[in-house]
A and B are shown apart, each in its own frame.
Chain A
Amino acid sequence: MRWIWRYKKWLGYTAAILLVIVFISQAKITFRDSEGGAEAAGAASAQPSGEGGAVLPDAGGFQLAAETETLRLKFHEATGHFMVEDKRNGHIFRSYPDPEEWEQAGVGGAWASHLVSPLMYQHIDMSNPNANPKESSFTRDEGKVENVQLIDGGVEFVFDVPSAGFKIPVSIRVEDDYVETSVQDEELVETGKDQLLWLRAYPFFSAVQAREEDGYLFIPDGSGALVSFQDKRSTIKQMYQERVYGADGSFISSPSSRNNVVMPVYGMKAGDQAFIAVIHEGAPYSDIIASPAGVLSNYHWIGTQQNYRMRYTQVTNESANRSFETYTKGERFRDDRVTRYYLLDEKQADYAGMASKYREYLVKEQELKRLTPDHQDAPFFLTMLGADREKGVFTDRYIQATTASGAMQIVQELYGLGVQNIKVTYLGWQKGGYSALGGYLPVDERIGGAKGLKHFVDYAHSLDIPVYLEVNYGMNNTKVNGFRPRHHGVRDLSGTLMRFSHQSGDDITMVSRTFMVDSIQDDMADFAKLGIDGLLMEGIGRFISTDYNSRYGGTRSEAAHVDQQALQTVRDQIGGVQLRNPGFYALSSVQHIYDLVDDYSYDLFSSRAVPFAQIALHGLVTYTSTPENGRSQYRMDFLKDIEHGAYPSFDFTMTETSNLGGVYWYAPVSSHFQDWKVEAVEQYQRYNEVFADIQDRFIIGHRQIKSGVMETEYEGGTRVIVNYNDEAYESGNIQVPAMDYAVIKGGKVNAQK
């Protein structure tokens, strides 16, 4: 046996290698795959045909479930699918892909069964730390539809998926011109050890291939964008997926380079058949997904993904920066998930029609009202900075930008030059200037104090000019109002405070919603004493996150709700509210929106931006885009305002801009009033000519006449044509010079120069 010892070294190696091989083959080594990757892999392995055992519901299996004056709802009991017939024009909207094109679906395997399924979901086994999320669908897991009951206006039932361990109660109702699907949270049960991560209910509602047809997906990207069916299919295959109202700071989201979604809506148009979907409940925990044809199948589809649990960073050692990522266990996000599909009549079947329908929704559900112009002229939105701080030799240096009397002088000069309908918002008036966040009263003595401010307000009122003050209760670095970061700051699930350090050396902490509302409440009486007309509320109406602060926190939906109440309070007690590019959930109490997004994210699949938000809002709420003296492109953005019905706004200071180069928080590149005075008035006059008599009119039409030429149509027949091209546009008796616009009022043509 001695020869064995001679080779013992080799034997050892061999044994070790064998062991490793056995281990590898036995152990479940799993690779975490991003969701997109998993989906892409599914598509890649697909066979080029629409079978693979997947069958669409047979037309005969549908039975009438409910009927309204315009709609007829039919339900397919075996599959849980439904179809809606629009009685106005006979169009049929199905909850599954267009059956006529099913042969060319372009997928097989898993994705084929997903496509015919009413429900897709992702779940994970939380008991196994190495488990990966599993993506599947109702059809693929061979679930059953149970407990079907007719209810008022529709049907309710339960999707039972024993293999995954879920019972998901769903109801479908029709009312007026919409069909509503909802997933009630209360009866949703997870029976197995797997937990639900997300759910897509009827994701392929109205999915079409529409190879040659005129149509598009409408995505709420920025002000709205279209994903056209007609575009030659790009060789770059990408989808749109974004969280409604932006990322939730408490959870991990792959960093997005896109615009935030501010409106919980999406839509589709194929030929003269179109719908707009509004996420009625549960929007803060929803993603909007749009998949152009050619990405996962040959169908264009768009829908929502309802999130129930998300990934977050569990910090194990803060100072050594050690942490791991995991899913929220246990409690899911408990919101009912309700989506309404408004079916549009043929003459409304475009994005302007969708926006009009959304406007109706805002009026009906969020109680927005048509505004009544308070002046015959169009408004001029004027923000002025009081003061800010910069680093000084010993302590911070206080830089006066516009004192109360300076502000008075600016208003006086503008008024004297013929700008009468000014709306003033005063920033950085608080003690310590603009970079002092969180605590606001008293007014800093160095810009005039409460007395000086009151004097300014009284003066403005004598000219019928309202004065708003900007406040930001959403962040705090002053510890005023009893704010203690550790007690009152936003925390994620592992207890990490949401804060950042600023160049002033201050820690700025995000403030928990409930505490924020208390602070606002406390300050109300003092604001009322200043005689002001309202507040520009920064840090509210956006940046909502799930807050795990045990005393002051709440879910994202609760944060949205708190915002609404806070804004209502301010409106009731002071009179007015202005916001900066808010989520549309916050609109009920708002008079004016600053910085309303007016562009899209330039995704390759998007063919162009559309002013959906503007069409929905004009006549309900006033809005401005970027201030004119802070624009990227002066002429281009001016034309865009004219096209979008946005009013002019300016950021002014009495002091020269170069004095503000070192301040902590305020950052316009050009704000000196004397530099801009004349130009501001000239610009305003142009806006005024266009908008003075259509301040309360809704936009009823918007279209691209030809590439680079846009037409906006208002109630009462006023049309605005904007030409972004380098050559003049001519059609009949309408002439629009290059990079210019024309206004047609009652058939009369006024070319502007």
Chain B
Amino acid sequence: MTMWNLKRFKLLLAVLMLTVPVLTHTADADVMYNTFTRDGFGRLVWGTQPAYAPAKIIGHDLYVSDEQNPEVMQPSPLRNPQDVYIDNKDEIYVADSGNNRIVHFHKNGSFKRYITPEDSPLNNPHSVFVTEDGNIYVADTGNKRVIVMDPDGKLLQEFGKPDSEFMPKDLVFDPIKVIVDKRGYIYIATLGGYYGAIQLDPEGNFSKFYGANKAPFSAIDAVKRALYTRDMYANELNKVPPAINNMTIDDNGFIYTVTSGKDVTSEQIKKLNFEGQNLLAKSSDLSSVNNSYGEFTPQNLRRQPEAVPSIADAAVDSEGNFTVIDKTFNNVSQYDANGELLFFWGGQSANGITQLGLIKSPVSIDMNSQQELFILDNQENVLQQFRLSEFGALVYHANGLTMAGKYEESEQYWSEVLKLNAFYTPALSGLAKAAYKKGDYNQAAVYYRQAGNEIGYSESFWQIRLQWMQKNFAVFATGLLVLIFGSMVVRRLWSRLLSKRSGSKAVSPRSRAEAWLQHVRHVFYLLKHPIDGFTALRFEGKGSYIGAFIILLGAYAAISLSKLYTSFSFNKILIQQVNIYMIFLQFVIFVLAWVICNYLISAIYRGEGRFRDVFIGCAYALVPLIIVGIPLALISNVLTLSEAPLYYYIRNAMLVWIGFLFFWKVQSLHNYSVGETLVNILLTIFAIAVMAVLAFILVGLTNEIRVFLYELYQEVMLR
């Protein structure tokens, strides 16, 4: 519905607080759904041109001749169909499970014939597969068998549960999917079969289990395994690996397994070679790969909170790009051969309406040689055909070149894509690779940054830095020498100067401002001699609230600055995503929680520090954030990911230092032994946790009371 042109307003991003039904539905011209992609920062790019446009509906006009009266044709729609398969001649087969038959359509979608073996009727067939020589394999689920028919539908062979000593007794043979590879090996997925797919050799003998998933293993499981006895653990652990519930095979013989379930949130798609290794798990060069498939929008999630995508099926094209359908959110997501998202789209027709392009319950998907998609809907009981759009075709062409490593060739196509859609991330990545290949590192860095690819950005920056160093080597080297020599001279002069002036220094503060300055200056003493420094805070009045506030402000500024100014290589973030108010809030809560809880605990635990000491000490302990954090953020801008260990070393050292300062702070302020300090800190952390829970409950209850009083008031006033 083009009520509110999606291309013009970001209304979809609006959070509809209350139903404003007149504004909720929007879609593009040409298609009834919205197409999305994601940028490198995980943000939704919406209003993307559609990749696919609906072409037609297939299978809504099926008829059979009436049994009593053969001339009369009775409508016989598909009933709960489960699988669609396109053979190498682009002819279409649908496993029409509810009608116990296979429906065969011509290339153009018109009806060709029904296939049922005459002497051995099908019962709830869930899957159909056609080999190159035209033999038809059917997973005849209800009869617990897989059958092979010749192209005319004559029964050739049938396989039940394989008779093998390796076959587990508890395996229930309910075949739901069958595929055959080029060698003639048969792969059968069974309902709930967590051993993996059953692989049969061309003669039908059991060969092995193929592509089994791993059982989920969480941190809690690890704890249990460590603590429990063997028997207890065995009792506890009724977890089995999720079963493979769909498979597809591409032109190169790679088998894609589909796994779904409430706990399956990654590796829902695996691309397996003949040995069963997952090739999608490997990350490609210059990009980080996300192993989770099935995309959704915040709107999807608002309608079904906490739902996870449940992938039903996948289709693969000749270049290895694959398309998956998700039963939960009814979205179609497309990925390239590396698993990078290209597009996703979705939209639902209202109840009682069947519209071209909108799918209510996708169960199966396949693709023909023209890259046309066929999606089977087992609620509407139709097959929908989608055709590649102009934009989609352009993207596929360009991405194909990039995948083949023809970066320069891909450049003009990606430029065209980017012209049509300035926010299309794969185009930015493609152009970045092309620029890098050509040696235009500055441009590459810009594109990589826009694409949110910190690894590529860092690589480009490494090159830029190298070039700069090479160009400026002479200046650089001289500069370095001057710096070293100069610093030696300056240091000598400085120490001479200091020794002259020493003695005239330590005077009592004259004005308040000078006192604060003194307090802040105490920082440097404290950093060198932490224990003495903190003791001085407590007993010699070296600190003040004002001084502490200044330092805390500095620490907050340091956190904000390092968020804002750390190099993109180490800080993959958009400037719009930095919320300094949120940082402020978190910072204040942290400081207050620590100060209050630590003070309370110390007060009952023989601590000698006053509240002011705890507060001031806390501020002083955060100083490394300022004196290390800020320079580190600045320096990160000349570092690349190759120097990441250095960066992270300094950062972690800073954190450790802060930790030690806190420790010494507690120890000196309260005059504790090491053991007492440890106990105090642990108790403080515990107290913070308790306080958080209390605060949570208090807020909740107060709100309830507020609502109650308000309702009471309304009741009194309005009745």
Binding site for B on A (CB under 8 A): 34, 36, 222, 232-236, 238-239, 246-249, 253-260, 313, 317, 319-320, 390-394, 496-503, 507-508, 510, 542-543, 545, 580-581, 595, 597-599, 601-604, 625-627, 629-637, 651, 656-658, 661-672, 675-676
Contact = CB atoms under 8 A, between A and B. Distances in A.
B75 A581 contact: no
A665 B348 contact: no
Given A258-B350, A258-B353, A498-B20, 13 more contacts: A233-B61, A238-B353, A238-B354, A256-B350, A259-B2, A502-B13, A595-B2, A634-B420, A637-B29, A658-B423, A668-B7, A669-B47, A670-B420
A675 B419 CA distance: 7
B7 A500 contact: no
Contacts of B31: 632
B6 A256 contact: no
Interface string B18-33: 1111111100111110
A96 B62 CA distance: 33
20 contacts: A36-B352, A235-B75, A236-B60, A247-B21, A249-B19, A259-B2, A260-B1, A500-B16, A500-B17, A602-B355, A603-B355, A604-B356, A626-B7, A631-B29, A633-B50, A637-B29, A657-B422, A667-B10, A668-B7, A669-B48
Given A542-B3, A603-B354, A393 B564 contact: yes
B601 to A, nearest CB: 37
Nearest to B35: A632
A255 B24 CA distance: 9
Interface string B387-425: 001110000000000000000000000000001111110
B20 A249 contact: yes
B32 A601 contact: yes
Contacts of B353: 238, 256-258, 603
B61 A234 contact: yes
Interface in B572-612: 574-576, 578, 580
Contact of A257 (B15, B61, B358): B358
Contacts of A319: 707, 710
A233 B60 CA distance: 9
B8 A668 contact: yes
Given A253-B21, A393-B564, A633-B391, A258 B355 contact: yes
Contacts of B357: 602
A602 B422 contact: no
A255 B25 contact: yes
A669 B18 CA distance: 28
Contacts of B241: none
Contact of A503 (B10, B18, B380, B564): B10
Interface of B: 1-3, 5-10, 13-25, 28-32, 39, 47-50, 53-54, 57, 60-62, 75-77, 347-358, 380, 382, 389-391, 419-424, 450, 564, 574-576, 578, 580, 707, 710-711
A604 B57 contact: yes
B423 A258 contact: no
Given A254-B351, A601-B32, A633-B391, A236 B7 contact: no
B76 to A, nearest CB: 8
Given A235-B60, A235-B61, A496 B18 contact: yes
B354 A669 contact: no
B390 A635 contact: yes
Contacts of B450: 658
A234 to B, nearest CB: 5
A597 B2 contact: yes
A496, A542, A601, A676 pick with most chain B CB within 10 angstroms: A601
B580 A543 contact: no
B14 A633 contact: no
A227 to B, nearest CB: 13
Contacts of A255: 21, 24-25, 350
A53 to B, nearest CB: 28
Contacts of A580: 5
Nearest to B50: A632
Given A543-B23, A603-B353, A632 B8 contact: no
A256 B20 contact: no
Contact of B20 (A222, A239, A499, A629): A499
Contact of A256 (B1, B14, B424): B1
Contacts of B16: 500
Contact of B7 (A234, A390, A630): A630
Contacts of B22: 246-249, 543, 545
Contacts of A676: 419
Contacts of A665: 9-10
A507 to B, nearest CB: 8
B450 to A, nearest CB: 6
B350 A499 contact: no
| Centre residue among B9, B348, B382, B710 by max chain A CB count within 10 A | B9
Nearest to A662: B576
Contacts of B15: 500-503
A369 B2 CA distance: 27
Contact of A633 (B6, B54, B390): B390
A664 B355 contact: no
Contact of A246 (B3, B61, B380, B574): B3
Contact of A601 (B7, B355, B419): B355
A637 B75 CA distance: 37
Q: Across chains A and B, which 4 residue pairs bring their CB atoms closest together, nearest first?
A: A657-B422, A602-B356, A630-B7, A235-B77
B357 to A, nearest CB: 6
A289 to B, nearest CB: 13
Contacts of A392: 576
A672 B9 contact: no
A657 B16 CA distance: 27
B354 A236 contact: yes
Nearest to B49: A632
A668 B419 CA distance: 12
A499 B22 CA distance: 11
A632 B421 contact: no
A633 B48 CA distance: 11
Contact of B1 (A236, A259, A627): A259
A664 B13 CA distance: 9
A159 B47 CA distance: 52
B421 A670 contact: yes
Nearest to B422: A657
Contacts of B351: 34, 36, 254
Given A249-B20, A604-B355, A636 B390 contact: yes
B555 to A, nearest CB: 18
Nearest to A434: B9
Nearest to A508: B14
Given A499-B18, A602-B356, A636-B390, A393 B5 contact: no
A325 to B, nearest CB: 12
A394 B578 CA distance: 10
A602 B47 contact: no
Contacts of A671: 422
Nearest to A602: B356
A404 B574 CA distance: 29
Contact of B707 (A320, A658, A664): A320
Contact of B25 (A248, A256, A664): A256
Contacts of B389: 632-633
Nearest to A40: B352
B253 to A, nearest CB: 32
A313 B21 CA distance: 12
Contacts of A672: 422
Nearest to A497: B18
A667 B7 contact: yes
Given A234-B61, A254-B350, A500-B16, A658 B422 contact: yes
Contact of B391 (A508, A626, A632, A664): A632
Contacts of A603: 353-356
A510 B17 CA distance: 13
A633 B30 contact: yes
Contacts of B421: 669-670
B122 to A, nearest CB: 21
B2 A581 contact: yes
